[in-house]
A and B are shown apart, each in its own frame.
Chain A
Amino acid sequence: MITPPLVRRNTPQRYRMEAYQCTKCGKIFFPGRLVCDRCKHREFEMVTLPEEGKVITHTVIRTPPTGFSDLSPYCVGIVEMANGVRILCQIADCEPETLAVGLPVTLEFRRVQEDGESGVLAYGYKAVPAR
């Protein structure tokens, strides 16, 4: 779903990778939470995720959902960032044959979705391997 309030509310995470770290046990959450699932503490401080990471699992989507056909087939993976936090995102500019567990990637700002021809654009992060 891409609607103006949804896009706006997700902007700090999608544009600036804002994560939140529990001030008691140090676990980092992306996106942030109201309560730490490890120690139940309720205070956090903002940290930015690093832009470097590595692929820990991956796939190639060949039957895309609505709105994703232009890039099909495209790579998707779970990426472990340099600070240990894991995210899921597309792996862009990547030939499917080169996908591998351990592939180092860097996050780039990309247009992730659009609400049809006239709706708002939803930007966010994708992981890109070195050229």
Chain B
Amino acid sequence: MFDEGVVVFFIIVPLLYPLLYAYLYNNESVREVPTVVVDNSHSQLSREFVRRVDATGDVNVISHCQDMEEAKKMIHHRDAYCLIYIPEDFAKDVAEHRQTVVELYSDMSGILYYKAVLSSCTEVSLEMNKEIKAALIPGATEQQISAFQYPIEYQYVPMFNTQSGFATFLIPAVLMMIIQQTMVLGVGMMAGEEREKVRKHIAEPHIIGKNPSEVLIGKSTVIFTIYVIVAVYLVCIVPLLFGLIHIWRWQTLLAFMVPFIAACVFFSISLSSIAHDRESFIIMFVFLSIPLLFASGISWPSSNIPIFWKGFSWLFPSTFGVNGYVRITEMGATLADVQHELNALWIQTFAYGAISYLVYKRTYGKQLWA
């Protein structure tokens, strides 16, 4: 039943791809973004500001430039990605109780640069503002100054992915995509190969004269079993290996993964009915991985996916698999919390199961070979 090409998709890709991704996103976020400073104030206060920004983990001040032209040139040569511009009147304005504006520029080839410079500088400015005000109100306690600055204080809590890390965000979705896509490709290749051999009279259909439901049960059980092992590695071991968040209860995960894998198995078998030959199937389905990852709503939010594409995304087990798995493993969702996804996966299992049966009945029962 197995050939080397299928082994690649069933074993090698699931084994290696997550390692590659985890290695790539190992740093979780971009740290020490190279930044240039144009300090026209040349004051003690401006130097203090720059020193504190440099001390944050996100920004690394690599150079002080004479003017904007020089700074821009450094960004254009990709020596730096952000620019902090401090106006001439910076210290004077503060001393004379006028609001002063520090301008931040970010190269938009990556949104993480923008985030890094904005959050570091905002953080430093809040801190310095507090100190400036302390000087404004002599004799005030820290508490009074703080209450003056923030009559209502606020705090922000990023839940579940507390570092807002990139690996934590993307890898769980990629893991679920790997399960579905490698299975579709492997099963499609096998079906295409068999069809081709029969067409060329190299081989007889190996199940000629057999009951299509028996064939379906036999085949799906084998694929299911292989993927249970693959899934244990992907959804349990990989997160442990790379210290990704994993707060699942194993019972919940098991009850969710069973219908997901089952839906993928029958989805793959149904799709394999259009595999004309072994290789064309790969070309037709690999590129879909990228749109499907986005259709799941892990990146662009599902609340904002146009209804047409949403309907399209519901055809694929990955859409429900990604959302259910992310919420179970990272957000500690219970089975009841992912009821919607769970129902959808069971519906897919039965619907694609029925389609698979019809496909087998038609092709094997009547020996119709395209």
Chains A and B are bound partners: no
User: Which residues of B are in contact with A by a Cβ distance under 8 Å?
Assistant: none
